[in-house]
Amino acid sequence: MINAEIFREYDIRGVVDKDFDAQFASELGKTFVTYLSQKTGVKNPVISVGHDARLSSPSLSKAMCEGLQSAGARVVFLGLVTSPISYFSMFNLDNPAGGVMITGSHNPPEYNGFKISVGKTTIFGSEIQELLKIMQKGEYVAGLGAFTTFNIFDDYVARYKQEFKNMPKVKVVLDCGNGAAGCIARRMYESVGLEPVILFEEPDGRFPNHHPDPTVEKNLDALKKAVKEHGAAIGIGFDGDADRIGIVDGEGRFIQGDEMMVIISRGILMDNPGAKIIGDVKCSDRLYEDIRKHGGQPIMWKTGHSLVKTKIKEEKAPFGGELSGHVFYADRNYGYDDALYAGLRLIELLGKTGKFFCIAGRYGR
């Protein structure tokens, strides 16, 4: 029996072997190809599949790939990647119809789930409910699929090595939290000339050192300590699938999500005077006041990473974010939430200004 409650607003998520299992993942693969067929008429769609570091992710991804192929999909398997790299594949592969990222994000180890892209955006709301309706009917398209593996890291790193070729030499500490960020963080940051100190780099779905949510201050205790010990200018933490970011300043002080958005927004407005900046309803009024004070047009929007991404596209805004640590750069990037990329933008800004515009809630600097 299908547990309808796991079909949530922005993804499909629950406790593995309680709310769903590998057979469900296979059925979801068939469902997704059927959904694409109904929406686009595409047969044998190219679909990328990636997964995070959770212990259940390899078996779920295997079942997902089998289900996709049985419905005629040409699967491009990315292996262990971050969610943003899954999104990147939508811009990088040859004519992809969609993508599936198997991840439990920042949830406890027993959780897992599926983030689904159609074209260059993630589906949410009624579109996810449409998947549920198709699965409940159990009437799927069938076809002869295919399976290939693809090393997407080379293209991903090359893309940002070019963008950050003049990166200032800032001392930084990264905390991968034993999540998916560890599969690429060192290579990405070293490729632009940085020499990061990296904590908990090895992907380990048990998350043995701390819970992988960098927006909760207690989870950054080790990062704070390392920043002070190494005399770093900034400490950057990533969640389990590296789409959310948390930071501490050079004195080891935690910076809230909307305070981080003030830092970023002021930098964005230096290069994009009068630009629209999107924030969610959970951000403080101080953020919107600060955007207005520095010549921007603040827009308060609904909470939800898919909703904010969509609003950024509609408003042609160069930047937006949420209190929860999802930040979206459309300026110079693709408009989705990539914490590793956001970290590089913060380091770049820090190198340009010599200090952040606000530190630990003290605005006006």
Q: Which residues are catalytic?
A: 105
Which stretches within 72-125 are classed as H helix?
A: 83-92
Distance CA 229, CA 64 (A): 44
Element (H, E) at 57: helix 57-70
Distance CA 44, CA 101 (A): 19
CA 120: distance to chain centroid? Answer: 14
Q: Do 109 and 203 form a contact (C-beta atoms < 8 A)?
A: no
- Angle between helix axes 83-92 and 339-353 (nearest 10 degrees) is 90
Residues in CB range of 330: below 8 A, 6 or more apart: 312, 313, 316, 317, 318, 319, 320
| Amino acid residing at 116 | I
Element (H, E) at 80: strand 74-80
Element (H, E) at 48: strand 46-51
Q: Do 244 and 337 form a contact (C-beta atoms < 8 A)?
A: yes
Distance CA 342, CA 319 (A): 11
Structure tokens at 4: 């309808």
Maximum Cα–Cα distance for the chain, whole Å? Answer: 61
Q: Do 268 and 290 form a contact (C-beta atoms < 8 A)?
A: no
- Enter the DSSP assignment of 142: -
Distance CA 7, CA 113 (A): 10
Distance CA 136, CA 24 (A): 12
